[in-house]
Amino acid sequence: MQADPDPRRAVGTRTMEEVVRKRPPESPTLLEETIRDFGFAEIWTRPGLDRRSRYWISISASAATALTDPLEDYVHGALRSGEISLAELREGVLHFAVYMGWPLGRQFDRIVTKVADSLGLSADVPNLRDRPWDPDERFAFGKASYIDIMTFPSPEGPTPFYDAGIKNFVFGEMWMRPGLDQRARRWITLACVGASDSPNPIATHVYAAMKTGDATVDEMKEFVLHYAFELGWPKGSVMQTAVETMADRIARGLEWM
């Protein structure tokens, strides 16, 4: 009996079973073979980033593609492995929808419901709205939260996007919900600003992720590789440049620009 000509196969098969609870196909196509032998054997096994973080990156990136199958696999795997709870996923869906828009968010939400139903799971999500919102209070709260999360003040000026959008809702309500930790929110945000190809949001969120300590520089570099596998090398290249640039600026005590 010969030795396996490629030891990656066994590692990839085992890792794929752990991550998405599926075995690779018996007669894989070239792509399926590569997903097993490179994606699962050589990326998911790397030590520089914990598995929970990798799930959030893969889930957010695949939700951004508008496809459902890979997303469903990852959601299934995250829930089955216990790395992410259903209540956390519901918060993650909202966070994702804010960064990628609600049409994509709604599809992600339906996939979570489908997988949860198939596993017999249900979850209560804390309701923040037990009293009417005071618009002024929310606005002031959003302004303060923005600085905590982004590390610099939000743009000023009476404009609907910054006021009714960013301060009132994104930072006045969504980011501060208690059901999901800030590090998970970072991975969702980073995958989404990258998938959105938006230069300044990429720069500011890469900067803030490291500046707040939510992720180390080395973890951010691992993030780039993992994210590139999900969304392709060109988007990975943009993210890699942002991580290098912003790590350098932080090391030199500079603002993001």
- Residue list 194-233, contact with a copy of itself (CB under 8 A): 196-202, 221-222, 224-225, 228-233
Binding a copy of itself (rule: CB under 8 A), the pick from 17, 18, 80, 133 is: 133
Q: Are 96 and 126 in contact (CB under 8 A)?
A: no
Say how many Å lie between the first and final Cα of the chain, rounded: 61
Closest approach of Cβ 204 to a copy of itself, in Å? Answer: 9
Interface with a copy of itself includes 30 (CB under 8 A)?
Answer: yes
Contact predicate 75/111, CB 8 Å: yes
Q: How far apart are CA 215 and CA 145, in angstroms?
A: 19
CA angle 210, 236, 46 (to 5 degrees): 70
Q: How far is the CB of 253 from a copy of itself (least distance, A)?
A: 22
Q: Which of 26, 82, 131, 252 binds a copy of itself (CB under 8 A)?
A: 131
152 belongs to the binding site for a copy of itself (CB under 8 A): no
Contact 218, 122 (CB under 8 A): no
Backbone angles phi, psi at 157, to 5 degrees: 115, 135
**Token pair in block for residue 251:** 């090391």
Tell me if 153 contacts a copy of itself by CB under 8 A: no
| Contact window for a copy of itself (CB under 8 A) among 10-18, 75-83, 144-152, 236-244 | 236-244
- Does the footprint of a copy of itself cover residue 86 (CB under 8 A)? no
149 contributes a contact to a copy of itself by CB under 8 A: no
